[in-house]
């Protein structure tokens, strides 16, 4: 199967299985999405969705967030892990949003990535899901499946992102990124994957293992 045929089959299958792609992290606006994505680093979406209501009950906007101390934020988000760094980042970025952006989340990669604790993946999620700007955030599921399906041999996420953007039509980036995550969780997991039972791997084949270390 040629790569262009493989990509077409993958996208067709993803669209059939996941015609709707709700954002897995509960949020109500760009700011609450930004905080939720920041908290999701090395933490499950389910756990984040348990913790954010507790945090947002206290502060769901930059102005209220800086009224809390870093220690107060840390106590609330502790179950998400990495709470010392995350709490400082949440307070710090909220302070910057207040002082530089009138309390609003900026709709640019450059401005987002300049905020404390916000890397390219986090910025990409916010740009795609909050502002509708085409982006292709790469998480562990996407990295693993890009390797398995032979769409990218890269070890670093920056190159994986470039490879996927080359093969997936731009107008599909925002939806495909979520579809691949859903598929990886349901059909193509890291530990219990059976290629013959996988709706995609059973047709397009798959590389052994999960991804390059």
Whether residue 64 lies in the annotated active site: no
Helix axes 120-129, 30-39, angle to 10 degrees: 150
Instruction: Retrieve residue 212's tokens.
Output: 């390059």
Give long-range contacts, CB 8 A cutoff, 24+ apart: 18-25.
18/178, 18/179, 18/182, 18/183, 21/175, 21/178, 21/179, 21/182, 23/129, 23/178, 24/49, 24/178, 24/181, 25/49, 25/52
Whether 139 is catalytic: yes
Considering the candidates 6, 86, 121, 175, report the single residue annotated as catalytic: 121
Which position among 26, 60, 95, 139 bears the catalytic label?
A: 139
CA dihedral (69, 48, 27, 113) positive or negative: positive
Which residues belong to the active site? 121, 139
């Amino acid at each position: 199967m040629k790569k262009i045929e493989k990509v077409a089959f993958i996208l067709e299958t993803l669209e059939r299985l996941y015609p709707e792609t709700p954002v897995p992290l509960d949020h109500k606006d760009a700011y609450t999405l930004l905080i939720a994505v920041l908290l999701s680093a090395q933490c499950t979406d389910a756990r984040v969705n348990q913790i954010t209501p507790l945090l947002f009950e206290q502060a769901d906007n930059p102005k209220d967030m800086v009224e809390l101390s870093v220690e107060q934020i840390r106590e609330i988000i502790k179950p998400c892990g990495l709470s010392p760094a995350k709490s400082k980042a949440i307070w710090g970025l909220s302070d910057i949003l207040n002082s530089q952006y009138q309390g609003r989340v900026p709709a640019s990669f450059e401005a987002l990535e300049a905020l404390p604790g916000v890397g390219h993946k986090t910025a990409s999620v916010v740009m795609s899901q909050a502002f509708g700007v085409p982006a292709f955030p790469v998480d562990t599921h996407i990295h693993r499946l890009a390797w398995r399906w032979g769409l990218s041999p890269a070890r670093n996420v920056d190159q994986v992102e470039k490879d996927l953007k080359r093969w997936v039509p731009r107008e599909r980036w925002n939806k495909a990124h979520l579809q691949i995550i859903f598929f990886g969780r349901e059909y193509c997991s890291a530990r219990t994957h059976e290629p013959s039972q996988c709706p995609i791997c059973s047709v397009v084949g798959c590389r052994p293992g999960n991804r390059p270390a």
